[in-house]
């Protein structure tokens, strides 16, 4: 680095101001990549799975740079995931302090009353503390189920599923339809696309 040999792995480097080489060749920062994936059901959000299950990275095999997910969806959930190699950008999306809204379409196992949906709007008590108030909109009822949209500004593990369980119901289907102002739109399940400059700025 700047003509000095560095052997300490935790040495701080500023690639904008310092010249870094490896075996005499200059190292350059990787091009920043921002992708939106429509995750299918049955895929885990990890690089490798000890059980041999399919991972979301199987859907990104032709991406030239190594990317990681800014947030997760569990095995049985579908919908939007953002992938990037920009750590600061990912932190802004996942940090509880950022309050980035995420919207889900939920199919509940029972008919939910207006009062039960109001409980979600006010916030419910979970094992790891009360949730923030959520935006909730009933989409429709069938003869047995309730379909509703919920927007939360937290990113706890299995949060929407656990919130619904406090009402005495189960989530039968969960689709993340929006992250911030980004929507699924025409994106097909199992496919990905680059984020637009406007979408990136909206999450920055």
Q: Please report the beta strands in 109-143, taking only residues with DSSP state E, as ranges in sequence order.
A: 125-126, 129-130, 135-141
Which run of H or E residues covers position 34? strand 34-39
- Among 2, 74, 91, 128, which one carries the catalytic annotation? 74
On whether the CB atoms of residues 123 and 130 are closer than 8 A, the answer is yes
- 3-state SS class at 112: coil
Question: By C-alpha distance, which of 122, 126, 127, 109 is closest to 168?
Answer: 109
118 is known as an active-site residue: no
User: What amino acid positions are annotated as catalytic residues?
Assistant: 74
């Amino acid at each position: 680095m700047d003509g000095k040999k560095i052997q300490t792995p935790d040495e701080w480097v500023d690639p904008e101001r310092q010249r870094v080489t490896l075996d005499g060749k200059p190292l350059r920062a990787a091009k920043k990549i921002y992708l939106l994936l429509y995750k299918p059901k049955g895929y885990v959000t990890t690089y490798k799975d000890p059980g041999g299950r399919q991972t979301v990275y199987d859907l990104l095999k032709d991406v030239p740079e190594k990317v990681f997910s800014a947030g997760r969806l569990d095995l049985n959930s579908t919908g939007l995931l953002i992938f990037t190699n920009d750590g600061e950008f990912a932190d802004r999306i996942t940090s509880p302090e950022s309050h980035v809204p995420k919207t889900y379409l939920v199919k509940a196992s029972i008919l939910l009353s207006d009062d039960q949906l109001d409980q979600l709007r006010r916030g419910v008590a979970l094992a790891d503390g009360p949730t923030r108030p959520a935006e909730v909109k009933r989409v429709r009822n069938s003869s047995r189920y309730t379909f509703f949209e919920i927007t939360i500004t937290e990113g706890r593990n299995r949060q929407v599923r656990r919130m619904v369980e406090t009402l005495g119901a189960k989530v039968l289907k969960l689709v993340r339809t929006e992250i911030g102002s980004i929507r699924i739109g025409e994106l097909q399940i199992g496919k990905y696309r680059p984020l637009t400059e406007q979408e990136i700025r909206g999450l920055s």
